Amino acid sequence: MTDNKIVSISKFNKLKKSTSTKVKIVVQNISVFYGEKKAVDNISMNINQNEVTSLIGPSGCGKSTFIRCINRMNDVIENCKVEGNIFFDKTNINNPSVDIVKLRTSIGMVFQKPNPFPKSIYDNIVYAPRLHGLVSSKDEEKELVEKSLIEAGLFNEVKDRLDDSGTSLSGGQQQRLCIARAVAVNPSVILMDEPCSSLDPVATAVIEELIDELKKKRTIIIVTHNMQQAARVSEKTAFFHLGKLIEFSDTEVIFTKPKEKQTLGYITGRYG
């Protein structure tokens, strides 16, 4: 397979190198079991602040299971056991003393399928801030709703219909509403599990532009089946296969000069 069949980053938007090299999340020897089956096998990596890290690999390779470790979403899955340590701002999130509600406020999540609450656009945004006591007046709520929708690139489209149901929006708008809902509690990390897989190309492009803006204030980890998307949006890319982390490096290295034959085989379409 010749080099010109490797995914070429030159086709895509130039990646903006982050000026920050501060490590935000340290993953040490994470393994995940569903009963006796090992779904994630001894993963270690450092995730930098204010960067986008993409997780790629074939379906069923452990990407989504792994990303759910970072805000302990696997805790709610029966017969799921997680081994190893994850340090978020130097705190081990797997320590029994960690407040999981507070952790998930700091590490937000956007899912594959847009899942707005069956409430108004306004109430979708303020529900969690009210719950956590982050707003104490109607004026504070209004300010937070506007700020969150602006950050999610949605305000101009919905500012005159905040009382409409969130489910009345288009698919792409619903996903941006879910992002606005996530940023409303001011997380420093946002996890995105294939956030564009159910969206059309136009809506996908809007979400990708939004990710580029979000990383200025936040750290983004995105699971994506779309290698071109990973090349466009991320500074770092991790390639998973059969529950193992095969290669983790700068995105440009992964897509132009991968060190592992398995990585090369995947990005050139030999399998996956």
Q: Rounded to the nearest 10 degrees, what angle do helices 121-131 and 171-183 cross at?
A: 20
DSSP string of 182-213, one letter each residue: HHTT--SEEEEESTTTTS-HHHHHHHHHHHHH
Residues 6+ apart with CB under 8 A from 99: none
Sign, CA torsion 120/125/126/131: positive
Bridge partners of residue 38, in order along the sequence: 33
Contact 256, 6 (CB under 8 A): yes
Full set of structural domains in the chain with CATH: 3-11+21-112+189-267 (3.40.50.300)
Per-residue pLDDT tens listing for the chain (272 residues): 334 445 544 444 444 444 547 999 999 999 999 999 999 999 999 999 999 999 999 999 999 999 999 999 999 999 999 999 999 999 999 999 999 999 999 999 999 999 999 999 999 999 999 998 999 999 999 999 999 999 999 999 999 999 999 999 999 999 999 999 999 999 999 999 999 998 999 999 999 999 999 999 999 999 999 999 999 999 999 999 999 999 999 999 999 999 999 999 999 987 65
Question: d(Cα 131, Cα 146) in Å, to the nearest integer?
Answer: 18
